[in-house]
Amino acid sequence: MTIKKKIRILKDVRYRTSGKESVQMLYSIKMHARKGGKNGRGGRHISGAERIVKPENIEQEVIRVLRRARQHERGAADFIQIKVACVEPSQIQYCPLLPVRQQDVKTVAEGRRQARLALLRAGVSAAAAAKGFSYLTALRDSMRGAMLVDAVSGERVDGKGERGVRCSTMDCADAAAYARALAHTPYTGLHAREAFVLAAKVAAAPGTVAELCWSDDPQYVTGYVASPRYGYERIMVMKQAGDPVGGRVIFIRPTTDVETYMAYLQYQPVLVTCHEPL
């Protein structure tokens, strides 16, 4: 079945009735683009995107993420997969956007020093913070997903190798409210929006201590540390311009059930609310 045919079918299924109430369905859109490999396995990760939209917005969002996959600065993908699936409103969890503050550092060394301090403040041990940085700097190419790391020992616990654990099925609860909240800030770009939403979902997961990330887009050098306790710390320089390698480390409590945690990241639909200006 072609994507266009799937979209037409989904567009017709606007409401699902339970008792006397009609509840509008939402739809998850996932895009995954790679270069090389076979049937989406192996090769190089180029781009990914996550949206949760109303039925009437499916077509325009599919076109947007398709254009993104075809025009990405990491290169031309030769495998692009777009999935559209309904999301039951009763399954959705809501969490707030994290408070944001910005560190206007000038160098990579300064940025990573600030990130390390933020990790320690959030409750990550010095040894685990050091290992988290070493995992990221040792990457030869970007990972599609995140590494899960014990926040005390620094040992990686996900067992997913170079693939990592994908954080998926999330978006803003209200795009207009999000735009109003960030209208008078420098955080209006797509990179910032996607990072804020993902970080909010990760921070809401039981067991999260902190998250460390910098982008794999070659010209986007900004990264962040986010935590449930201190919010989102945006660090302006975390890598050299032109570097196409980025990644994500999520530090979790030693007592966390890893399988349950991974299931939340990958499958739990989450909408992020934003009611006040940042």
Residue 277 has a pLDDT of 59
Q: Given a cut of 60, is residue 19 above it in pLDDT? A: no
**Residue 126 carries which side chain, given as an amino acid letter?**
A
Range name among 7-21, 131-145, 151-165 with the lowest pLDDT average: 7-21
What is the rounded CA–CA span in Å between residue 215 and residue 139?
13
Residue 125 has a pLDDT of 99
**What is the DSSP pairing of strand 231-235 with strand 100-103?**
parallel
- Using one digit for the tens of pLDDT, what is the confidence trace for 229-266? 999 999 999 999 999 899 999 999 999 999 999 999 99
Confidence of residue 34 (pLDDT cuts 50, 70, 90): confident
- Using one digit for the tens of pLDDT, what is the confidence trace for 54-78? 999 999 999 988 888 887 667 677 7
Residue 199 has a pLDDT of 98
Closest CA to 87 of 200, 198, 206, 173: 173
Q: Given a cut of 60, is residue 40 above it in pLDDT? A: no
What is the rounded CA–CA span in Å between residue 145 and residue 39?
18
What is the rounded CA–CA span in Å between residue 201 and residue 97?
9
Structure pTM? 0.84
